[in-house]
Amino acid sequence: MNAITPAPRHWRQLLPTLAIALTACGGGTVTAAPASAPAAVPAPPSNWTLVWSDEFNGAAGTVPNAANWTYDLGNKEADGWGNHEFQYYTADARNAQMDGAGLLVITAEKAANPGPCWNGAPCGYTSARIHTGNKVSFTYGKVEARMKLPSGQGIWPAFWALGADLATAGWPKSGEIDIMEFVGKTPNTTYGTLHGPGYSGAQGIGKPREFGGPVANDFHTYTVIKRPNEIVWQVDGVEFHRLTPASLPAGGTWVFEKPYFVILNLAVGGDWPGAPDATTAFPAQMKVDWVRIYKEN
């Protein structure tokens, strides 16, 4: 496993170098001397160093890189993924493939009985859920993805992380960091949420990020910054949510000082988004430009 665990270091905002522009002008018969070319201003040093990424530059029709990603499969086998969802996750290229133009496209589509849903009925949709478990993890640093989300009632794309000890600790003791969740019934809003012992499920500590217009209209960059005893959420580089152990409810346990792995998925239906309706367009596509992990300098 490619565990990324840089030594903790308190972040400091670097001050940008300021350049002063001088202007010369002449009047009458006086000719101004040629101005010297301004000295090049070096870019301020970055606080972040890229340590892992998937840029999804594969040929059209190729599936996610097996060195980075593993598929979660099924529905009934996972009890509806804990949310009574309607999609059956597959490893079929129809549901997750490169488009040949630098994007991973995760597609949810209507399907005739791809497998059983949690309620014993045939699932009505297929989709994909991929993760970096046992392959790539991070303890501290910045994790982000640039994505264009699908819209529609019952559509539920997500970019999130689970504790690498999930198999032994179980959920919610493993902890869950929802970097970005979107449900079609609130088209102008995404959500960042933390789940752990004493604050899981509907009691997760979340915050909406309002866009002032449909989220699905464009690509956006969704980010979480994870430091010792602090987690920060950003959209397009602007912070909207921050939590520390002091943010937890009484009896809650902070379980985030350990490795986490990354998940991308596109769900259909479930307890939170509700069922698709006649207005929901299929296929629905979640387009991912890249996923990147940085360490803090």
pLDDT in tens, the chain (297 residues): 555 544 333 333 332 332 323 233 333 333 444 455 556 666 667 899 999 999 999 999 999 999 999 999 999 999 999 999 999 999 999 999 999 999 999 999 999 889 999 999 999 999 999 999 999 999 999 999 999 999 999 999 999 999 999 999 999 999 999 999 999 999 999 999 999 999 999 999 999 999 999 999 999 999 999 999 999 999 999 999 999 999 999 999 999 999 999 999 999 999 999 999 999 999 999 999 999 999 999
Domain-embedded: residue 42: no
Domain-embedded: residue 217: yes
**DSSP E strand stretches across the chain:** 2-4, 48-54, 70-72, 87-89, 96-98, 104-110, 125-127, 129-131, 136-138, 141-148, 155-163, 176-181, 189-195, 205-210, 220-227, 230-235, 238-243, 260-268, 284-296
Give residue-wise pLDDT tens across range 152-193: 999 999 999 999 999 999 999 999 999 999 999 999 999 999
* Residue 113, pLDDT score: 82
Side chain identity, residue 215: V
What's the domain range around 242? 49-296
CATH of the domain at 250: 2.60.120.200
Domain-embedded: residue 88: yes
Domain-embedded: residue 161: yes
User: Per the structure block, which two tokens stand in for 58?
Assistant: 């594969």
Domain-embedded: residue 40: no
Helix (H, G, I), strand (E, B) or coil at 71: strand
Give residue-wise pLDDT tens across range 99-128: 999 999 999 999 988 999 999 999 999 999
Residues tagged active-site: 176, 181
Give me the sign of the Cα torsion angle 270, 273, 279, 284: negative
Domain-embedded: residue 13: no
Of 277, 278, 290, 274, the closest CA to residue 83 belongs to 274
pTM value? 0.86
Domain-embedded: residue 16: no
8: preceding bond cis by omega (within 30 degrees): no
User: Per the structure block, which two tokens stand in for 220?
Assistant: 């956006």
Number of domains in the chain: 1
Per the CB < 8 A criterion, the answer to whether 48 and 293 are in contact is no
Domain-embedded: residue 20: no
